[in-house]
A = this chain, B = another copy of it.
Amino acid sequence: MSSESTGDAEHASSGGHHAGHPTNQESHPALRVRALESLLVEKGLIASDTVDALVQAYEQDIGPMNGAQVVARAWVDPAYRERLLDNGAEAIAELGYGGIEGSEIRVLENTPEIHNVVVCTLCSCYPWPVLGLPPSWYKSHAYRSRTVIEPRAVLREFGLELDDSVEVRVWDSSADVRYMVLPQRPAGSEGMGEAELADLVTRDSMIGVALARTPSGVR
């Protein structure tokens, strides 16, 4: 298997031999990136605290916990759910989320009859404000190539076996609209509050490769 398919971390350790790389010397990406940052700071093109703040934002503040709140709200508030399905980005902004890769977000509702799953075949487009940066598998060549031609096989790899009566809708994010799935509210979650419900909403369930957790699976 290529380093690509096992995530970037492993790739980092594979070192040089990069045909086509515009450098004279082969070097470990970690070292190369340090050199790049050092020069850009020195030349005043970037500030260290800007990079710090961006890293911190996408490591800590901007992630699937945001989308989970959106989903939980939609589960308890029918009027919000309607606004969310009608204009995702605006309804998401009501909860304070928005920004890069979130200008247009469309929310797709899973039902007993229709299961939605999101992919980006041409690159790795993803709704950053609600889900953060994509996980490695979403960026993998396997996920990008296979999801449009054999979604049921892909979902089975994620442990999700759908009945043949369910329509699988695959959304390929080729333009400026980003997609997020509104998973079905799990049975047994009646009477739970928004915060508790948000704990049931996983990243994978908002991409469409999994269902939301059932309460028994949480407690």
**A: which residues have CB within 8 A of B?**
1-3, 14-17, 19-20
Contacts and interface: CB of A to CB of B under 8 A. Distances in A.
The 6 A-B residue pairs with the shortest CB-CB distance in the complex, in nearest-first order? A17-B17, A2-B19, A3-B19, A2-B20, A1-B20, A14-B17
A4 to B, nearest CB: 8
Contacts of A20: 1-2
Query: What's the number of copies of this chain in the assembled complex?
Result: 2
A20 B20 CA distance: 20
10 contacts: A1-B19, A1-B20, A2-B19, A2-B20, A3-B19, A14-B17, A14-B19, A15-B17, A16-B17, A17-B17
- Chain A at the B interface: SS class: loop
A134 to B, nearest CB: 22
Contacts of A15: 17
Contacts of A14: 17, 19
Nearest to A3: B19
A6 to B, nearest CB: 10
Contacts of A16: 17
Contacts of A17: 14-17
A19 B16 CA distance: 12
A10 B128 CA distance: 43
A2 B20 CA distance: 6
A14 B26 CA distance: 12
A23 to B, nearest CB: 14
Nearest to A6: B19
A24 B20 CA distance: 26
A1 B14 CA distance: 20
A15 B17 CA distance: 9
A16 to B, nearest CB: 7
Nearest to A15: B17
A211 B217 CA distance: 73
